[in-house]
């Protein structure tokens, strides 16, 4: 160990703090490593000596070292001690805001005839334009100039009422007073982040997850801790272990048809998640972006339906199942957080467009919404079945096809040594656009996944495109 450690390092641990002592020590050492004060190869003090110096139990130092090692900040050599590892990238939760330029790139469609497996929204020809045109005319005749005045920042009250009715049909008890209308789910995530998070707060996300959420949390300086996804929801052992250590303020999840994996949580995992959130005082942000397209016979209601304690903030977007350009979504807030989110919404954009809200209200009330969803389900069920059947038929058996219960995407795990980025680049040269999976991981992005969207492709394109991608993977396997 370098002799001067105890002279130049000042570490203050506070007993009785909500954060466990070993997490405080972990944070302090991590900071010293990241800012270069403890550089690669530095030998950390022996456990007992360090514990005596800090006036804590040796177990505290052992646990902090263990966590640092798990997250790649240090490594140990048996018999010789713990050393600072080589840090080549940000290893774990980010406390610094990310510049906008680091947002994941948007994949542009190179030509009109390319097969687009990247876009995740209904194509223009599936949008109910005629119905909506008539609704707009009715609203304008009815409300005249009122449709264009400033609106209530919480949202047009009749729409909030219509939404609470809609939620009841989905097993969620809601009152219009707790509904906050927002301009898209992305704004919802941002508003929740602004309302709840302070710099340095911990947020848990699924791993992988929706990159727009990572960006919003990071822009608040939150530290992101990722929890691995399994095919029936979060890895609960990992969650239990980390929630005890980090005490996150927020856990961001997609319980139904998770983006990007398509996985849905089992009932048992829904209950375990809520139980752990309750025990450790965390709020859960449930992003329900597509549950209407669950095609299974046993489709589950959103997680919010199980929430007896107002621990879940429910976020619902209409972008994927209606019109993304309408920029319409809502939050169902626990009552004690309504005023705080309302203030943030007001400070962000005063209110969501009144014309849009009034039109959508009428659309819901007239029941046209149900017809639209039924039509969308018919179309997407067919695309979903074609995609899965085609993948099974053409993909090499070494490719793991995760079969979602519905939605618009399918998550593929490539065989060892095959790069998702390279396959996507080759596919693009052959006129197929597909999303490499690494963009969905908050850190340590493994380059062995692809997300295939069937949102804007017809059956013929699905068959052609899957054959091309399968051929590229086969060729890559042959020469690897």
Ligand X SMILES: Cc1ncc(COP(=O)(O)O)c(C=O)c1O
**Which residues form the interface with ligand X (CB under 6 A)?**
120, 184-186, 210, 212, 254, 259, 287, 289, 317, 319, 324, 329
Q: Is 402 in contact with 440 (CB distance < 8 Å)?
A: no
Shortest spacing between CB 210 and ligand X, in angstroms: 4
Looking at beta carbons only, is 68 or 227 nearer to ligand X? 227
Spatial distance between the Cα atoms of 423 and 427, rounded to a whole number of angstroms: 6
Residues 6+ apart with CB under 8 A from 427: 433, 434, 468, 469, 472
Shortest spacing between CB 107 and ligand X, in angstroms: 13
Position of minimal CB gap to ligand X: 184
Looking at beta carbons only, is 38 or 376 nearer to ligand X? 376
Looking at beta carbons only, is 26 or 252 nearer to ligand X? 252
Shortest spacing between CB 184 and ligand X, in angstroms: 3
Shortest spacing between CB 154 and ligand X, in angstroms: 18
Looking at beta carbons only, is 161 or 186 nearer to ligand X? 186
Looking at beta carbons only, is 164 or 319 nearer to ligand X? 319
| Six-digit token string for 10 | 């000042």
Closest to 153 in 3D by CA, of 364, 356, 347: 347
Q: What are the C-alpha distances in Å from 457 to residues 113, 382, 388, 402, 435?
A: 11, 11, 14, 19, 15
Looking at beta carbons only, is 317 or 351 nearer to ligand X? 317
Shortest spacing between CB 259 and ligand X, in angstroms: 4
Residues 6+ apart with CB under 8 A from 288: 254, 255, 256, 302, 304, 314, 315, 316, 317
- Reported for 77-84, long-range contacts at CB under 8 A and 24+ positions apart, including other chains, are 80/43, 81/1, 81/43, 81/44, 81/46, 82/43, 82/44, 83/41, 83/42, 83/43, 83/44, 84/33, 84/38, 84/39, 84/40, 84/41, 84/42, 84/44
**Residues in a beta bridge with 452:** 410
Looking at beta carbons only, is 324 or 334 nearer to ligand X? 324
The arrangement of strands across the sheet holding 312-317 comes to 179-182, 329-332, 312-317, 283-288, 250-253, 202-207, 223-230, 233-234
Looking at beta carbons only, is 46 or 212 nearer to ligand X? 212
Shortest spacing between CB 329 and ligand X, in angstroms: 5
Spatial distance between the Cα atoms of 86 and 417, rounded to a whole number of angstroms: 24
Closest to 158 in 3D by CA, of 359, 326, 4, 299: 359
Looking at beta carbons only, is 81 or 212 nearer to ligand X? 212
- Residue 117 burial (10 A CB sphere; 0-12, 13-18, 19+): buried
Shortest spacing between CB 182 and ligand X, in angstroms: 8
CB atoms closer than 10 angstroms to residue 309: 10
Provide the b/e sequence for 96-106 (b: ≥16 CB within 10 Å).
eeeeeeeeeee
Looking at beta carbons only, is 185 or 395 nearer to ligand X? 185
| Six-digit token string for 312 | 């879940």
Shortest spacing between CB 15 and ligand X, in angstroms: 40
Shortest spacing between CB 254 and ligand X, in angstroms: 6
Alpha helices in 395-438 (DSSP H): 420-429
Shortest spacing between CB 185 and ligand X, in angstroms: 3
Looking at beta carbons only, is 63 or 356 nearer to ligand X? 356
Looking at beta carbons only, is 208 or 465 nearer to ligand X? 208
- Residue 79 burial (10 A CB sphere; 0-12, 13-18, 19+): exposed
DSSP string, 39-77: -TTPBPPPHHHHHHHHTS-HHHHHHHHHHHHHTTSEEEE
């Amino acid at each position: 160990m370098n002799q001067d450690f105890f002279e130049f390092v000042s570490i203050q641990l506070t007993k009785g703090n909500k954060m466990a002592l070993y997490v405080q020590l972990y944070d302090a050492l991590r900071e010293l490593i990241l800012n270069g004060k403890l550089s690669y190869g530095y030998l950390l003090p022996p456990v007992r000596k360090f514990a005596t110096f800090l006036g804590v139990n040796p177990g505290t130092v052992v646990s902090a070292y263990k966590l640092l090692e798990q997250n790649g900040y240090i490594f140990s050599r048996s018999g010789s001690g713990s050393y600072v590892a080589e840090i080549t990238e940000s290893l774990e939760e980010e406390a610094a805001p990310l510049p906008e330029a680091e947002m994941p790139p948007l994949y542009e469609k190179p030509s009109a005839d390319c097969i687009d497996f990247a876009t995740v929204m209904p194509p223009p020809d599936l949008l109910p334009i005629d119905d909506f045109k008539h609704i707009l005319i009715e609203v304008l005749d009815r409300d005249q100039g009122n449709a264009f005045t400033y609106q209530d920042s919480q949202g047009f009250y009749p729409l909030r009422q219509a939404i609470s009715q809609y939620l009841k049909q989905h097993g969620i008890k809601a009152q219009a007073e707790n509904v906050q209308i927002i301009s898209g789910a992305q704004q919802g995530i941002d508003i929740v982040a602004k309302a709840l998070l302070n710099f340095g707060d911990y947020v848990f996300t699924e791993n992988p997850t929706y990159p727009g959420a990572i960006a919003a949390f990071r822009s608040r300086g939150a530290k992101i801790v990722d929890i691995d996804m399994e095919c029936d929801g979060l890895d609960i052992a990992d969650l239990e272990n980390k929630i005890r250590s980090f005490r996150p303020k927020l856990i961001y999840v997609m319980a139904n048809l998770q983006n990007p994996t398509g996985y849905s949580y089992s009932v048992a995992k829904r209950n375990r998640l809520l139980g752990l959130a309750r025990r450790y005082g965390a709020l859960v942000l449930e992003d329900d972006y597509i549950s209407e397209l669950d095609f299974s016979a046993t489709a589950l209601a959103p997680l919010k339906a199980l929430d007896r304690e107002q621990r879940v903030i429910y976020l619902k977007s209409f972008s994927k199942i209606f019109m993304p350009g309408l920029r319409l979504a809502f939050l169902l807030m626990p009552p004690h957080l309504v005023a705080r989110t309302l203030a943030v919404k007001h400070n962000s954009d005063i209110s969501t467009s009144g014309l849009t809200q009034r039109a959508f209200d009428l659309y819901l009330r007239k029941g046209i919404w149900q017809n639209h969803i039924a039509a969308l389900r018919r179309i997407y069920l067919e695309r979903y079945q074609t995609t899965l059947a085609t993948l099974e038929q053409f993909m090499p058996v070494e490719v793991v096809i995760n079969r979602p219960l519905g939605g618009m995407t399918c998550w593929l795990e490539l065989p060892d040594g095959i790069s998702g980025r390279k396959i996507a680049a080759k596919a693009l040269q052959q006129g197929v656009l597909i999303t490499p999976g690494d963009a969905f991981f908050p850190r340590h992005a493994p380059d062995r996944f692809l997300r295939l969207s069937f949102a804007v492709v017809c059956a013929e394109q699905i068959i052609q495109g899957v054959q091309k991608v399968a051929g590229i993977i086969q060729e890559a396997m042959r020469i690897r």
